[in-house]
Each structure stands twice: as structure tokens, then as C-alpha cells.
């Protein structure tokens, strides 16, 4: 984690936020409504069931501690704040103290998030079905079970990766470079580096990683 000057806070209205409230185990999904530097940050009240909503209201007392995280250009930015107050009218909002300090974590330099997502890798004219076993903003690990001889994939070879995480299969091909190739028995594993990510695919991936990171802490 890297400390940032509060002046670098960049959380435009509509930015997705993850809130951690003392006494509630789950991470709460919210959005930034706005902020005034050195005074306050405003977040939407997280959607809750009726029972959960009443419990949340009880815990959002003045000076209650809250941890907020949001994603900015591939970096998770987090800060600790205290509740100023919450309101229901005209809209359900939470007013938080402006952070004295920010912490950042670059997802591109952070450990990969372990996953198990179906995908396909295309090499030349051949297409192979397998699983994405981990993910970061810079690449992933693709694993498949061989049915016959292993394809002759070498370091620096170009492949195309398709996965529903990036969008519809017919339009979600991601250009990749093989950085590592390993064969063990019938299992082939390829470490892939993304050569370029279309904006929609990058946003989908960043959103997934942010959600996974919030769960993993």
C-alpha cells in the first residue's frame, strides 16, 4: 500500500465505492455522489434488505468508523473516514469526513486474483477450451486439458483469448502474448500478458478485480 496526499483524491460522481462499516461483516456496494476537499465525502446509502437496512442505520452513528475503497485508473484507492450523518430525504445519503490520508494499491503490481472462469485460447487456426485460473489487469493464467499432442506454443507467441468476462464471445477476443508455457501430464498452462484491452473489456476486468479484492481484503 502506498500513502497518497489527500489532494490526489479523484472520485467523480458515479464512481463505484466499497464501504466497510464496523459491525457489518459484508462489504457494502455504494457510489460516490461528490465531495468537497477538506470537508466531506458523500456516498449513496447501500441497498439493503429491510432488516439489514435497520441494522445499518443503527451503526451509522456520528463518528462511526468507515473504510471506503474505489477504483481509479487501475489503482484501488482506500481511506478511513468517520460518519458525519446520514439522511433519507430527499435521497438516502451518507456524509463522511474528508480523508486525512489515502492509501493506494496498483492492481497491476498486486498479486493476481485467483479465479476459475471458462475461456478459449486461439493459436493459429486452432481453438482450445480451458479455464482462466488467475487474473490481473496485465494478464492471466490459462489452463487446459490436452486431448492429444500439445500445441507448439512458445514464449512470445501471439494468442487470442476469449472469455465472457470481457463481453460476448463473438466480440471479446483479447490479443495476448505467451510469457510462460508449462506442460505437466495432460495439463497445459500458459501465462498470458494482455497486449491491449478494449475500453469495455478493461472496465469489466477492473470491476471484477475490484470486487474480488474487496472480498479478499
pLDDT tens for residues 106-115? 555 555 788 8
Q: Is the pLDDT of residue 41 over 90?
A: yes
What band does 6 get if pLDDT is binned at 50, 70 and 90?
low
What is the DSSP code string of 111-173?
PPEEEEEEEEEEETTEEEEEEEEEE-SSEEEEEEE-SSSPP---TT-EEEEE-GGGS-GGG--
pTM for the model? 0.53
Q: Between the CA atoms of 82, 83, 84 and 85, what dihedral angle is there, to the nearest 10 degrees?
A: 180
The grid coordinates of residue 210 equal: 475490484
Closest CA to 72 of 215, 209, 192, 196: 209
Beta bridge partners of 144: 188
Return the ∠ at Cα 49 (arms to 87 and 27), rounded to 5°.
80
Closest CA to 69 of 210, 212, 216: 210
Q: Looking at residues 13-26, what average pLDDT do you find?
A: 88
The grid coordinates of residue 34 equal: 461528490
Taking only the tens place, the pLDDT of each residue in 45-80 is 998 877 788 889 999 999 999 999 887 766 778 899
Taking only the tens place, the pLDDT of each residue in 165-217 is 887 655 568 999 999 898 888 899 999 999 988 888 888 888 888 777 665 55
| Percent of the chain at pLDDT exceeding 70 | 88
Give the Cα separation of 123 and 132 in Å (integer): 16
The grid coordinates of residue 133 equal: 485460473
Give the Cα separation of 84 and 86 in Å (integer): 7
**Residue 93 near residue 81 (C-beta atoms within 8 A):** no
Query: CA–CA distance from 153 to each of 52, 72, 124, 181 (Å)?
Result: 52, 35, 10, 7
**Residue 29 near residue 47 (C-beta atoms within 8 A):** yes
Question: Looking up cell 476486468, which residue turns up?
Answer: 205
Q: Looking at residues 19-48, what average pLDDT do you find?
A: 91
Give the Cα separation of 20 and 32 in Å (integer): 14
Closest CA to 176 of 161, 186, 155, 154: 161
Amino acid at each position: 500500500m502506498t500513502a497518497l496526499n489527500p489532494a490526489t483524491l479523484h472520485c467523480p460522481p458515479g464512481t463505484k465505492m466499497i464501504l466497510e462499516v464496523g459491525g457489518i461483516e459484508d462489504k457494502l456496494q455504494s457510489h460516490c455522489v461528490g465531495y468537497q476537499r477538506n470537508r466531506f465525502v458523500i456516498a449513496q446509502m447501500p441497498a439493503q434488505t429491510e432488516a439489514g437496512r435497520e441494522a445499518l442505520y443503527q451503526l451509522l452513528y456520528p463518528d462511526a468508523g468507515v473504510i471506503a475503497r474505489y477504483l481509479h485508473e487501475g489503482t484501488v484507492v482506500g481511506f478511513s473516514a468517520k460518519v458525519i450523518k446520514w439522511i433519507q430525504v430527499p435521497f438516502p445519503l451518507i456524509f463522511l469526513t474528508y480523508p486525512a490520508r489515502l492509501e493506494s494499491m496498483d492492481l497491476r503490481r498486486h498479486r493476481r486474483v485467483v479465479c476459475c472462469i471458462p475461456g478459449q485460447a486461439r493459436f493459429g487456426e486452432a481453438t482450445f477450451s480451458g479455464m482462466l485460473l488467475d487474473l490481473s489487469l496485465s494478464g492471466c493464467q490459462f489452463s487446459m486439458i490436452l486431448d492429444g499432442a500439445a500445441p507448439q506454443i512458445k514464449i512470445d507467441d501471439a494468442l487470442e483469448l476469449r472469455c465472457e468476462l470481457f463481453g460476448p464471445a463473438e466480440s471479446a477476443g483479447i490479443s495476448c502474448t505467451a510469457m510462460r508455457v508449462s506442460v505437466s501430464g495432460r495439463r497445459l498452462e500458459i501465462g498470458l500478458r494482455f497486449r491491449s484491452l478494449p475500453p469495455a473489456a478493461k472496465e469489466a476486468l477492473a470491476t471484477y478485480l475490484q470486487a474480488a479484492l474487496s472480498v479478499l481484503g
